[in-house]
Structure 1
Amino acid sequence: MDILLISANRERTPYPVFPLGLSYLAGPLAERGHRLKVLDLCFADDPESAVSTALDEFTPDAVVLSIRNIDNVTFPGSRSYLPGVKKIVDICRGRVPVIAGGSGFSIMPAEILAYLDADYGVVGEGEEILPELLTCISDGLIPESLPGVLVREKTGFLPARLIQSIRPAERGLFPLERYYREGGMANLQTKRGCPFSCIYCTYPLLEGRAIRVRPIGDIITEIRSLVEGFGIGYIYFVDDIFNYPPEFAEELCQAMISEKLQINWTAFINPAFITPSLLQTMIAAGCDAVEFGSESGSASMLRNLGKSFTVDDLRNSSRLCREAGADFAHYILFGGPGESEATIDETFALMDELEPTAVIAMTGIRIFPGTPLHASALADGTLAAETSLLEPVFYISPPIRETLCQMVTERALARKNWVAPGLEINMSDAMLEALRHFPVRGPLWKLMKRLGRSRIRPMSATVVESAV
């Protein structure tokens, strides 16, 4: 079959993200004999025209539409991507079967399939099940018995099937060079699955709780292909947590050192599983910056958010980074259950103490179905059962719902290393566009050391209307 692979993601803030999920499908589909064409809409000036042209010129037998995210999970500056995706489906409908999938789709598959009016949906990992679905379509069969496959106007679907062997991504059909030029890094995954219990997180729902690691040799081969085949000099490891299990991270870094790979990289790490030895090994393997999903500097809020570490873990891991000379950033989520002005002040005080390169703060927490936060919001009455979550809906602790954004703005502006995307503090589309003119490699927050003071772009309107 002739298959048109469409990457629907058009978000370029803070930088364009290579469609890794779709690239995982290219290899298995090509091995089955399918002829593939990729249409990446991230850089398209007119996405609807680009889709129409691709359909006319390639005349595919099926369209596979990958949805990375359904919105930008940013409050108060939230925006939904689904209307734009629906326009793409509308152009394809009636001409060719449309199969929707991707991490964004898999969060609310039945609701999104109905909204888009696509023909089929694939929940979760599609490397194995998508070729089976295409065989059914080719043979004129209704694929209701395939795990994780939805059919338009059919209710229900079987649970998705997790793959056990994660193969390398196939990047050759995609504009990797442009992503690297404009985004400053390439992305790579070493494992899937998350055993932790953060109350807002969808990783365990999408990838399961059991960690499935890739063979070290396969990862090294993929890194080498990025360096030697594409001229990549910086990698972002997209694993939920890079340093868990610690022994796997140690083994991978030792292999990178042994192979003398000329690469620098960044990753999210858990502060409870970093040691001086592991950090030094990571740095020797090319790591020059790390990111912590800290979410709060308040002990009570860490417990409320279901975090697996303590305030002392944040102190110790930050100290190790400072002593080793590694840039580091803490990501903060304000507004969760139990948040108050006192816990907000605790977080600012801890960040002042830790002196990270940057603090990236989000106000409000996007509610996704199936998460403990969703159940909590329903139980405490802050979310009605009939509320649709297709549009961005955020949890903000009731006592500070009206004042959260103001409190964070006032405090963040007094500190030059804070970034608050939703409040446009040290983060706006214009600022990011200007930064892209610099030869930046790695995350843009590393440039915070060059800023002399915090900046804000004036915002308008009410900032609480989309919150719960």
Structure 2
Amino acid sequence: MKILLAYRANEEYCDAQQQVIPNGLYYIAALLLDNGFDVKLKNYSYWSNAKIRDDLREVNPDILGLTCYTFNAVSNFEVCSMAKEISRSVLTVLGGPHPGNVIDAIFEEIPSVDVITLGEGEMTFLDLVNAVKEKRDLESVMGIILRKGDSTLKTLPRKPNLDLDSLTIPAKYFQYLRLITTRGCPGDCIFCSTPAIWGRRIRKRSPEHILEELKLLKEQYGQTFFVFSDDTFTAHRRRTIRICQLIVEEKLDITWDCRSRVNFIDEEQLQWMRKAGCISIAYGLESGSPEVLKNLSKMITLEQIQKAADITRKAGMQLTFFLIVGSPGESDKTIEETIEVLRMTRPHDILVSIMSLTPDTHLCRKVGVPPKAWFTKMAKPYFYTEEHTLEEMEGYRDRIHAEFAQMHTAYTFEELVQLIRDEPDSAALPWNNVGLIYLSKGMVRDALGAFLRSVKLNHGYPHAWNNLGIASLQAGNRERALACFRKAARQHPEDIDIRMNLGRLHASLGNAEEARNSFEEILAIDYQHATAKAELRALNGGHASDALSLTAG
């Protein structure tokens, strides 16, 4: 029996992160491989329909499983239809956050869908595959809805898995950047579907299980940069500290970033996170207006925002805020309040989104989105326009960006020196930032010294290796620059700037094939990357530039 697990982004609108295979598919594939099944995992995100059809014919799966989000739902429906055109006998299965929210409409509108899984997919999909293998009735599989002639049948519900350590670690078979260490979120924000999917109770993997995953990824692939993609990585402070202690005790020499909430962080956690290689933390603020925060049910205060920002900067980490404009109650006044919070807290980066809707959220139910809206391929998100037009919300977003661009939020040289003095043994990040200041002033020799100190303190810091490569190149040492870029690219498999630097240096050295590989690897991460396409065209035309334009960070 052949099983194909696939993912396809929405080519009409998506960013690089939306083109990445979701962790859930890795978990399902690893579990099936552990149980001896013939499984192929494919990312169709940058494939044409013709290429997908050819691949479906070649693989000829008995079961096709697809992960479906709201933004890429129609793209996955198309893959189901293509599979059924090629083989009517293939069993098509949809999982992920979106299908369970519009079940009746999917079965009515998309005749090529046979089964929808509800909730967590690992054990449900394994049970489904075993049922097909054993020729059992699919009604025996808990946690699914299946097509039965002109009607549907919902089987008994499957309880959430309380022992996440029992799942196969996907790194046994696959390389990936993002790790999920918990399921569930304690929040109840009106725009978020996480509580509806995973529940508000947080289920946790053990620190030892997470350490095993990190070690597998480092030992098998040389990867040393990771992203903890949990909604609230620091929700359980003792667990967070223990994870960091294990990383330090094992001398992993890795770097990573994470997400959290401003009401689930404290100085002790941040101190251990810095020692363990955390270089950046992103907080979901959404707004700096108390009125909007209340309307969103964020359950955070301006005092908590200020404190989280202060202690994060004190720990020397990069501070990022997620913001949303166009929320219920948004106005010129609330936007100005958000801008004032940015002035007071000095984040290093902000990511500003426009309020959009997805099924099974409080806000979406309040608006009453017609079901057919989810069956048109999206050229953009389904925005919340009950109170403002899209143009007005874009104006709010642009206003925040313009104001933020005028703020001086980077660490000053004096702040960085103090951070190094306070914690000299875990100062890889401040030394890297000192090097960037030297580099910006043309002080190449001093920059080299700072970057060398950074990588000596943490050998697994790809951004510092990348910057050391740039400084080495400016000092005239191309061989060392090439070695640094190669090391950085191996440590961070999805950093486009690093691969661009590597490709451009190869091109300038006349290493056309190596340069081509680097640019093609960028397109595998982001198939819409215009600069990588231009570099490939230049290479193929024999016009590689001698002038190097490199990106530090």
Asked whether the 8 Å contact 2:98–2:359 carries over to 1, the reply is no
- Offset of residue 267 of structure 1: 0.5
- Offset of residue 413 of structure 1: 2.5
Residue identity (%): 27
1:407 corresponds to which letter in structure 2?
Answer: Y
CA distance in structure 2 between the aligned counterparts of 1:268 and 1:388, rounded to whole angstroms: 31
1:403-453 Cα distance to aligned partner (Å, 9 max, x none): 2222332342343289xxxxxxxxxxxxx97786247xxxxxxxxxxxxxx
CA distance in structure 2 between the aligned counterparts of 1:25 and 1:33, rounded to whole angstroms: 13
Asked whether the 8 Å contact 2:4–2:40 carries over to 1, the reply is yes
The equivalent of 1:162 in structure 2 is 160
For residues 90-109 of structure 1, what are the structure 2 equivalents within 5 Å? 90-93=81-84, 94-109=88-103
Unaligned segments of structure 2, at least 5 residues: 408-494, 503-553
Alignment match of 2:347 (pick from 353, 356, 366): 356
Cα pair distance change 1:270/1:438, threshold 3 Å: farther
Aligned length: 400
CA distance in structure 1 between the aligned counterparts of 2:10 and 2:358, rounded to whole angstroms: 22
2:151 corresponds to which letter in structure 1?
Answer: K
CA distance in structure 1 between the aligned counterparts of 2:364 and 2:92, rounded to whole angstroms: 30
Aligned with 1:362: secondary structure?
A: strand
CA distance in structure 1 between the aligned counterparts of 2:324 and 2:406, rounded to whole angstroms: 16
1:54-73 Cα distance to aligned partner (Å, 9 max, x none): 33333322112222x221xx
CA distance in structure 2 between the aligned counterparts of 1:354 and 1:322, rounded to whole angstroms: 9
1:189 corresponds to which letter in structure 2?
Answer: I
Aligned with 1:128: secondary structure?
A: helix
The equivalent of 1:372 in structure 2 is 362
The equivalent of 1:13 in structure 2 is 15
The equivalent of 1:422 in structure 2 is none
1:196-255 Cα distance to aligned partner (Å, 9 max, x none): 211111111111222111122111010001111111111000111000022221121111
Deviates more, 1:162-171 or 1:220-229: 162-171
CA distance in structure 1 between the aligned counterparts of 2:191 and 2:300, rounded to whole angstroms: 16
Cα pair distance change 1:112/1:254, threshold 3 Å: farther
Deviates more, 1:352-361 or 1:158-167: 158-167
Matched, 1:132 2:127: yes
Deviates more, 1:229-238 or 1:18-27: 18-27
CA distance in structure 1 between the aligned counterparts of 2:109 and 2:222, rounded to whole angstroms: 41
Matched, 1:241 2:232: yes
What RMSD, in angstroms, separates the aligned Cα atoms of the two structures? 2.7
Cα pair distance change 1:375/1:85, threshold 3 Å: closer
- Offset of residue 352 of structure 1: 2.0
CA distance in structure 1 between the aligned counterparts of 2:53 and 2:374, rounded to whole angstroms: 30
CA distance in structure 2 between the aligned counterparts of 1:113 and 1:172, rounded to whole angstroms: 36
The equivalent of 1:28 in structure 2 is 31
- Offset of residue 149 of structure 1: 0.6
> Whose radius of gyration is greater, 1 or 2?
2
CA distance in structure 2 between the aligned counterparts of 1:304 and 1:139, rounded to whole angstroms: 51
For residues 205-216 of structure 1, what are the structure 2 equivalents within 5 Å? 205-216=196-207
Asked whether the 8 Å contact 2:178–2:228 carries over to 1, the reply is yes
2:91 corresponds to which letter in structure 1?
Answer: P
2:144 corresponds to which letter in structure 1?
Answer: V
Of Structure 1 and Structure 2, the greater helix share is in: 2
Deviates more, 1:396-405 or 1:126-135: 396-405
TM-score w.r.t. the length of structure 2 is 0.67
- Offset of residue 17 of structure 1: 2.7
Cα pair distance change 1:3/1:400, threshold 3 Å: closer
CA distance in structure 2 between the aligned counterparts of 1:102 and 1:198, rounded to whole angstroms: 20
The equivalent of 2:271 in structure 1 is 280
CA distance in structure 1 between the aligned counterparts of 2:73 and 2:370, rounded to whole angstroms: 22
CA distance in structure 2 between the aligned counterparts of 1:352 and 1:398, rounded to whole angstroms: 27
- Offset of residue 114 of structure 1: 4.2
Unaligned segments of structure 1, at least 5 residues: 72-80, 180-185, 378-382, 419-431, 440-468
Asked whether the 8 Å contact 1:263–1:286 carries over to 2, the reply is yes
1:36 corresponds to which letter in structure 2?
Answer: V
1:227 corresponds to which letter in structure 2?
Answer: K
The equivalent of 1:53 in structure 2 is 54
- Offset of residue 134 of structure 1: 1.9
CA distance in structure 1 between the aligned counterparts of 2:264 and 2:121, rounded to whole angstroms: 31
Cα pair distance change 1:219/1:8, threshold 3 Å: same
2:32 corresponds to which letter in structure 1?
Answer: L
Asked whether the 8 Å contact 1:333–1:365 carries over to 2, the reply is no
Alignment match of 2:252 (pick from 255, 261, 264): 261
1:249-298 Cα distance to aligned partner (Å, 9 max, x none): 11211111111112101110111121111111111111000000110001
CA distance in structure 2 between the aligned counterparts of 1:333 and 1:199, rounded to whole angstroms: 13
CA distance in structure 2 between the aligned counterparts of 1:402 and 1:51, rounded to whole angstroms: 37
CA distance in structure 2 between the aligned counterparts of 1:417 and 1:234, rounded to whole angstroms: 31
1:393 corresponds to which letter in structure 2?
Answer: Y
Alignment match of 1:437 (pick from 487, 496, 500): 500
Matched, 1:111 2:105: yes
